[in-house]
Structure 1
Amino acid sequence: MPEVVLPRLGTVAAWRAEARRLAQAGVAAESVVWRMGDGEADLLASLPAETTATPMREIRLPREAVASFETALCHADPERFARAYGLLLRLAEGSLRWGDRSDAALGRLLAQEKTVRREIHKMHAFVRFRELPSEGPRRAFAAWFEPDHPVEEAAAPFFARRFGDMDWAIVTPEITTRFADGSLDFALTEGRAAPPEDGTEELWRTYYASIFNPARLMVKAMQSEMPKRYWKNLPEASLIPGLIRGAEGRAAEMQAAAPTEPPARTAAIARQRRAVSPPPTAGGVVPGNEAGNRPPASLPEAKAAADECRRCPLWSNATQVVFGEGTTAARMMVVGEQPGDREDLAGRPFVGPAGQVFDEEAEAAGLDRSMVYVTNAVKHFKFTPRGKRRIHQKPDAGEVTACRWWLDLERDLVRPKLIVAMGATALASLTGTGAGILKRRGSVERLDDGTPLFVTVHPSYILRLPDEASRVEERSRFRADLKAARELLEELE
């Protein structure tokens, strides 16, 4: 019976070469014994006499199968070589289809591939280099790591790419990986000792403690991403038990120190508005409205009545109501989501960063702003205080529903020929659902009264994109949406 002894260094390449040789010769899986050796491989396993005269057959595997085999062979399971060879024969003869997880052996190989990939990821994440004295122009570093699986050779190219301008060594209990002058080399480990600490580790511990957020502590999730078996070789790990013990107290201190009211300038603005605005009547309508309880008959009346709106709790923290802006002669109504910080302070819609984007792209699209009525689905600014800032929060369904009365009133007073919904909240207020806005973008829907509704994104969506290229591309798409809305309005007239 052939016996193949694979080396600890270059194991995968050696298995691949030997498995191909045996498979081409038609050697059955149960006829081969695979094992790891302490030193060099014995790749001269004799073939059974009955196979020596058999013509060599061609072995072909799917490309993705080869990659999965080579990754799974970095698992610590001693049966992995025999299992992989048996699967290779079955795939080559066509009795097994690649990817069939109902097959126990193939399912086990794919599971081990996933485990190995995770182990490689953990090695990339948790290797901690320590600087060593260097006599040459390149800095030198060393690290000690203890993987659960023999992944050193598979993980090393990542470090070579990332730290190509320095010399380094990663020592594990079995393999020492060295990178010097751009050359990667592997050797069996002789001395099993971690390098001494360097001066940067205390600095790193200080930084780690300073960015630790006790209010977001989730111990199980943290241990899932940073298992305890890695802690002994991580300099910051010595701080973790203490940080966990003190998290509840520190979170309480942060909560106590957080602001509970809007900035002082918002109270000053509110006082100024009360000093110059006449008080409303009990019915919530400005003086001069003899009916008292009838709906406002004009936009100024509607705005004055909205100042005293208590339909939802948002009024209690906002500086003021932010009503729509425009004339009843407007042919197009643009509906946004809600006021932002700037709008809340100014009392006008679309004056903040998102409003600036809208103004610029509307002008580029040829929209006459004097003929556009702009408003929001929700009239008060919803936010959460964070330090000296007020961070936007998305209105919930109840708040959108409560404010729909005012939006319906604006529609009745303006009677636009076309409505443009910008964002999911506006779309939900107008149609009942904001789901699938990206799929609905650019489409024209009909409201209950027959008014056409053009769907697009909110300008704040553009501002939240992570990179400049995406923002430029989305601004161009947003401009095209506004141009399409303008052309549709012209067709309706």
Structure 2
Amino acid sequence: MKEVVLERPGDFAEWRGVARALLAGGVAPEDVSWRGAEEGASLFGDEAPAASAGAVTLPRELLAMADRVICHRGAEVPARLYRLVWRAARERQLLARTTDADVDWLRKTDKMIRRDIHKMHAFVRFRRLGEGEGRERFAAWFEPDHRILRLTAPFFQRRFYGMDWAIVTPDARAIWQDEVLTLGPGGTRGEVPDSDVVEDQWRTYYGAIFNPARVKIDAMRAEMPKKYWHNLPEAQEIAPLLAGAGARVERMREAAVSAANPRTEKWRTRVADDLLLDDELTSLDAVARAVGGCTRCPLHCNATQAVAGEGPVAARIMVVGEQPGDQEDLQGRPFVGPAGQVLNEAMGEAGLDRRRMFLTNAVKHFKFEPRGKRRLHQNPTSGEIDMCRWWLDKERALVQPELIVTLGASALRGVTGKSASIKSMRGQVHELAGGTKLVATIHPSFLLRLPDRDRAAEERAAFVADLAWARSLAA
């Protein structure tokens, strides 16, 4: 049995050096005993092998998580991490096995550490010590759940680069002085002043942003656990603010209501005219202009612009998609984004010329969910499809295509007015009122979402075959 003594618990470099030597020596996890220097010597056990130069290749993701997880206070952590790297060196896809007990433990523990890091970033409060050599000096006391100071110190270095500061925790301290960051031994709360003038500013700010009408105590405690309160100056205001929340809400209700925005009233007076559907629209250009001012459903509120159909008025084939995507919304044209590129390539292989077809969508505005700087596509509801059907019917009446190709279930409902699965409608020719033929197939975006390359190739070939069949029917 090899015995490993870690002199600096939570130090990834120390653990990695020992683990690398053990791996190079072929020492199995069950043959290693790990302990901290403070635990005392064991009765049995040999010393661990010295560091070896043997190369051991491990997944970068595993090393990144191990760098964080080693900071966990659990005594079993060094041993469990070594078992993981031992297995990962022999099982290249180990981290992909999410049901594995070791992998599950690693990911949950990593999440715990990252949450502790987030809390430290949010809840460290500096006290001013004074000024020296032209730079202000500050200090802070913090009690994280785990030994994470070496992971969080670079964040404070970047954020408070222009001042000297020290953060003291029970396990370690970080000192930023003369633009040099050093780590040292832990300390006590008594080394940091209890308060300063900055704390009064924190309390004033917190009181100003406190909204008594939106108090959710459980949510507040989830984001700001009570164990952090004694180190937060603004936490002193929580109890009195909560106690007076009810009275403040009543005073807000009794206060005079401000006059309505005149622009809102102007919109209310004209909305009825905007919602009128003009049956006198006699050209595709007129329909496109009218679609641009449509406010019949809420989708127009967030979209950049409406996207009407595009193509010759005498097109023999009309292609109907679901709705504009991100690029279509920005450019104002249908099928110009990633799905449009897939459609263009497939039509080219099927012998179809996009310039001779009319391309449009069942819904004319982009429906999405904001996610950071991205806009994630959302499927339109049946009600939204039905609300927009008037515009699609108007385009159909003006183009009078011999054949309509619907891409996806939303397009199928937009044309027929009924919900049906693609599977039940695909591979058949359906006749609509007036003699127009209909062919149903998948939406090209479906091909972009398939992770399996073989399945994607198979589905794409079937999609091209559907378009080629539609060309032959229209001919």
For normalisation by structure 1, the TM-score amounts to: 0.57
Residues in 2 aligned to 1:452 and 1:47: alpha-carbon distance in whole angstroms: 70
- Structure 1 residue corresponding to 2:204, chosen from 200, 206, 213: 206
* Deviation at residue 7 of structure 1 after TM alignment: 2.5
1:7 and 1:36 in contact (8 A); partners too: yes
1:147 and 1:172 in contact (8 A); partners too: yes
Task: Name the SS of the counterpart of 1:165 in structure 2.
Answer: coil
* Deviation at residue 191 of structure 1 after TM alignment: 4.0
1:6 and 1:40 in contact (8 A); partners too: no
Residues in 2 aligned to 1:261 and 1:56: alpha-carbon distance in whole angstroms: 77
Residues in 1 aligned to 2:173 and 2:103: alpha-carbon distance in whole angstroms: 32
* Deviation at residue 39 of structure 1 after TM alignment: 11
- Structure 2 residue corresponding to 1:254, chosen from 252, 260, 265: 252
Q: What per-residue deviation string (whole Å, max 9, x for no partner) do you get for residues 322-364 of structure 1? A: xxxxxxxxxxxxxxxxxx538449x67xxxxxxxxxxxxxxxx
* Deviation at residue 245 of structure 1 after TM alignment: 2.1
1:419 and 1:453 in contact (8 A); partners too: no
Q: Residue 69 of structure 1 corresponds to which residue in structure 2?
A: 66
Residues in 2 aligned to 1:108 and 1:453: alpha-carbon distance in whole angstroms: 47
Q: Residue 341 of structure 1 corresponds to which residue in structure 2?
A: 264
AA paired with 1:117?
R
Residues in 1 aligned to 2:199 and 2:4: alpha-carbon distance in whole angstroms: 45
Residues in 1 aligned to 2:287 and 2:240: alpha-carbon distance in whole angstroms: 57
Q: Residue 408 of structure 2 corresponds to which residue in structure 1?
A: none
1:29 and 1:89 in contact (8 A); partners too: yes
* Deviation at residue 414 of structure 1 after TM alignment: 5.3
Of 26-35 and 231-240, deviating more is 26-35
**Change over 3 Å in CA distance of 1:82–1:452 after alignment to 2:** closer
Residues in 1 aligned to 2:40 and 2:126: alpha-carbon distance in whole angstroms: 30
Q: Does 1:6 pair with 2:3?
A: no
Q: Residue 130 of structure 1 corresponds to which residue in structure 2?
A: 127
- Structure 2 residue corresponding to 1:379, chosen from 257, 272, 283: 272
Q: Does 1:237 pair with 2:235?
A: yes
Task: Name the SS of the counterpart of 2:272 in structure 1.
Answer: coil
Q: Residue 215 of structure 1 corresponds to which residue in structure 2?
A: 213
Residues in 1 aligned to 2:146 and 2:360: alpha-carbon distance in whole angstroms: 62
Q: Does 1:419 pair with 2:312?
A: no
AA paired with 1:412?
D
The structure having more radius of gyration, on CA atoms, is: 1
1:141 and 1:168 in contact (8 A); partners too: yes
2:4 and 2:48 in contact (8 A); partners too: no
For normalisation by structure 2, the TM-score amounts to: 0.59
* Deviation at residue 211 of structure 1 after TM alignment: 1.3
AA paired with 1:87?
L
* Deviation at residue 233 of structure 1 after TM alignment: 0.3
Residues in 2 aligned to 1:11 and 1:423: alpha-carbon distance in whole angstroms: 62
Residues in 1 aligned to 2:77 and 2:95: alpha-carbon distance in whole angstroms: 17
Q: How does 1:385-396 map to 2 (within 5 A)?
A: none
1:101 and 1:107 in contact (8 A); partners too: yes
Q: How does 1:294-309 map to 2 (within 5 A)?
A: none
Q: How does 1:305-320 map to 2 (within 5 A)?
A: none
Q: Residue 75 of structure 2 corresponds to which residue in structure 1?
A: 78
Aligned-residue identity in percent: 39
**Change over 3 Å in CA distance of 1:437–1:216 after alignment to 2:** farther
Q: What per-residue deviation string (whole Å, max 9, x for no partner) do you get for residues 274-294 of structure 1? A: xxxxxxxxxxxxxxxxxxxxx
Residues in 1 aligned to 2:294 and 2:221: alpha-carbon distance in whole angstroms: 37
Residues in 2 aligned to 1:424 and 1:414: alpha-carbon distance in whole angstroms: 14
Q: Residue 160 of structure 2 corresponds to which residue in structure 1?
A: 163
Task: Name the SS of the counterpart of 2:213 in structure 1.
Answer: helix
Q: Does 1:23 pair with 2:19?
A: no
**Change over 3 Å in CA distance of 1:436–1:168 after alignment to 2:** farther
* Deviation at residue 423 of structure 1 after TM alignment: 8.0
**Change over 3 Å in CA distance of 1:46–1:210 after alignment to 2:** same
Residues in 1 aligned to 2:245 and 2:18: alpha-carbon distance in whole angstroms: 55
Q: Residue 306 of structure 1 corresponds to which residue in structure 2?
A: none
Task: Name the SS of the counterpart of 1:169 in structure 2.
Answer: strand
Task: Name the SS of the counterpart of 1:61 in structure 2.
Answer: coil
Q: Does 1:46 pair with 2:47?
A: yes
Residues in 1 aligned to 2:292 and 2:62: alpha-carbon distance in whole angstroms: 47
2:10 and 2:71 in contact (8 A); partners too: no
Task: Name the SS of the counterpart of 1:115 in structure 2.
Answer: helix
Q: Residue 392 of structure 2 corresponds to which residue in structure 1?
A: none
**Change over 3 Å in CA distance of 1:342–1:451 after alignment to 2:** farther
Task: Name the SS of the counterpart of 1:173 in structure 2.
Answer: coil
AA paired with 1:145?
F
AA paired with 1:27?
V
Q: Does 1:184 pair with 2:181?
A: yes
- Structure 1 residue corresponding to 2:141, chosen from 124, 128, 144: 144
AA paired with 1:163?
F
**Change over 3 Å in CA distance of 1:32–1:444 after alignment to 2:** closer
- How many pairs align? 324
1:124 and 1:155 in contact (8 A); partners too: yes
Residues in 1 aligned to 2:55 and 2:360: alpha-carbon distance in whole angstroms: 66
Q: What per-residue deviation string (whole Å, max 9, x for no partner) do you get for residues 423-482 of structure 1? A: 884467999xxx85546644569xxxx998897669xx9xx9999xx9xxxxxxxxxxxx
Task: Name the SS of the counterpart of 1:185 in structure 2.
Answer: strand
**Change over 3 Å in CA distance of 1:200–1:451 after alignment to 2:** closer
* Deviation at residue 157 of structure 1 after TM alignment: 0.7
* Deviation at residue 208 of structure 1 after TM alignment: 1.1
* Deviation at residue 252 of structure 1 after TM alignment: 2.3
Residues in 2 aligned to 1:451 and 1:61: alpha-carbon distance in whole angstroms: 50
AA paired with 1:115?
M
